[in-house]
């Protein structure tokens, strides 16, 4: 048998190759980037965020995202302080936060129009009958509040003509209307499926007007974007993929609605899915200044600080554009 003696140079070369290969494997198996992401309402608006988690799209982009529900009044301070990196809120909340000096940027628009409907108990189903009655809202800053001001205006009413009643989350607003503790309130599917069957009256349907709005969007502070642009891009990439999955896979999307929102009735699931896919979701989730402008205009009468905001400075389209080219 012939023995082979390796030269020191050859042995060194082999060592370098082994170390390099080991380093490459280590990089591929590196721990994913951890980050916190909250969404402000338990509504189907934020379904793409939940789909991105369950379908594994965040993981595919090297992210370990802890997604949780957190009302905007808690989510905004959390993202500003750095406790969270990404926040899902509406344009009205975003404008209010920016007016207070938050310096946050809209990177994805999930639902790009006002699609609320003003529903009322039958005995209050007119502008005259609504005067002096309680109208449910979530808070005095969010998208539902801004849309409520617009629908009252459409009915020829001023905010002072009714009793605007903050109730917290959308779920509370819906249950209060069903129970009759408020005379009217804005909502959308799946809640409106039950409203119809309970005999409530749809006074104003904003969906038909196609008014631009950021009913729900994904935001990050400018400072976080500057420091972690690759991470924000990964989040946006995953959400864009999730939106495509939502539109193309009814069964999966409806299963997610059941899991996260407790919707089990097949008729209610189909009603909700068709409403969002056919009437609400845009071909691309591109954030636009016009969407934010309508939120700013709706709030201007009740919050003078938002009047001077430039919506173009609050939007960063680059992430969605980059995601769409992949």
Among the listed residues 321, 216, 248, 190, the one whose alpha carbon sits nearest the alpha carbon of residue 55 = 248
Average pLDDT (169-191) is 95
Indicate the pLDDT class of residue 4, thresholds 50, 70 and 90: very low
Say if CB 195 and CB 156 are below 8 A apart.
Answer: no
**Per-residue pLDDT, 189:** 95
pLDDT score of 115 more than 60: yes
Starting at the earlier edge strand, list the strands of the sheet with 63-69: 63-69, 33-39, 86-89, 212-221, 104-113
CATH fold match for the domains 33-112+212-324 and 117-209? yes
Among the listed residues 141, 139, 140, 159, the one whose alpha carbon sits nearest the alpha carbon of residue 149 = 159
Q: Does domain 117-209 have CATH number 3.30.420.40?
A: no
CA dist 214 and 92 (Å) reads: 8
Starting at the earlier edge strand, list the strands of the sheet with 163-166: 163-166, 134-137, 184-187, 117-120, 201-205
33-112+212-324 CATH, one of 3.40.50.2000, 3.40.190.10, 1.10.1740.10, 3.30.70.260 = 3.40.190.10
User: b/e map of 316-325 (b: 16 or more CB within 10 Å)?
Assistant: bbebbeebee
On the 0-12 / 13-18 / 19+ scale of CB atoms within 10 A, 187 is buried
- Please state the domain extents for the chain: 33-112+212-324, 117-209
- Beta bridge partners, 69, equal 39
Average pLDDT (184-199) is 95
Percent of the chain with pLDDT over 70: 91
Q: Which two tokens stand for residue 294?
A: 């309508």
Percent of the chain with pLDDT over 90: 78
Q: Is there a cis peptide before residue 190, judged by omega within 30 degrees of 0?
A: yes
3-state SS, 247-265, equals HHCHHHHHHHHHHHHCCCC
pLDDT score of 7 more than 90: no
The tens digit of pLDDT for each residue in 263-318 reads 999 999 999 999 999 999 988 999 999 999 999 998 887 788 898 899 999 999 99
Average pLDDT (22-45) is 74
pLDDT score of 149 more than 60: yes
**Per-residue pLDDT, 26:** 35
Among the listed residues 112, 65, 60, the one whose alpha carbon sits nearest the alpha carbon of residue 84 = 65
Total count of residues recorded for the chain: 326
3-state SS, 155-207, equals CCCCHHHCEEEECCCHHHHHHHHHHCCCCEEEECCCHHHHHHHHCCEEEEEHH
């Amino acid at each position: 048998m012939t023995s082979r003696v390796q030269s020191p140079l050859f042995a060194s070369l082999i060592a370098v190759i082994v170390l390099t290969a080991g380093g490459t494997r280590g990089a591929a198996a590196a721990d994913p980037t951890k980050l916190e992401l909250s969404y402000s309402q338990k509504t189907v608006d934020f379904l793409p965020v939940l789909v991105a988690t369950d379908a594994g799209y965040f993981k595919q982009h090297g992210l370990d995202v802890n997604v949780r529900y957190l009302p905007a009044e808690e989510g905004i301070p959390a993202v500003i302080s750095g406790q969270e990196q990404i926040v899902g809120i509406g344009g009205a909340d975003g404008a209010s936060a920016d007016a207070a000096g938050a310096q946050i940027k809209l990177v994805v628009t999930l639902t790009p129009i006002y699609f609320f409907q003003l529903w009322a108990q039958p005995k209050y189903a007119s502008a005259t009958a609504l005067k002096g009655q309680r109208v449910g809202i979530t808070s005095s800053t969010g998208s539902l509040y801004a849309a409520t001001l617009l629908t009252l205006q459409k009915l020829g009413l001023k905010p002072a003509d009714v009793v605007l009643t903050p109730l917290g989350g959308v779920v509370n607003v819906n249950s209060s209307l069903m129970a009759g503790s408020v005379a009217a309130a804005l909502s959308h599917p799946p809640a409106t499926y039950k409203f119809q069957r309970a005999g409530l009256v749809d006074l104003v349907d904003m969906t038909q007007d196609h008014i631009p709005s950021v009913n729900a969007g994904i935001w990050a502070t400018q400072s976080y974007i500057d420091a972690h642009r690759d991470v924000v891009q990964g989040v946006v990439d995953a959400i864009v993929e999730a939106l495509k999955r939502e539109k193309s896979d009814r069964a999966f999307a409806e299963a997610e609605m059941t899991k996260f929102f407790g919707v089990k009735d097949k008729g209610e699931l189909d009603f909700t899915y068709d409403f969002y896919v056919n009437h609400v979701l845009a071909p691309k989730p591109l954030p636009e200044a016009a969407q934010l402008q309508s939120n700013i205009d709706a709030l201007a009468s009740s919050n003078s600080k938002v009047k001077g905001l430039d919506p173009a400075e609050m939007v960063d389209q680059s992430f969605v554009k980059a995601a769409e080219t992949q």
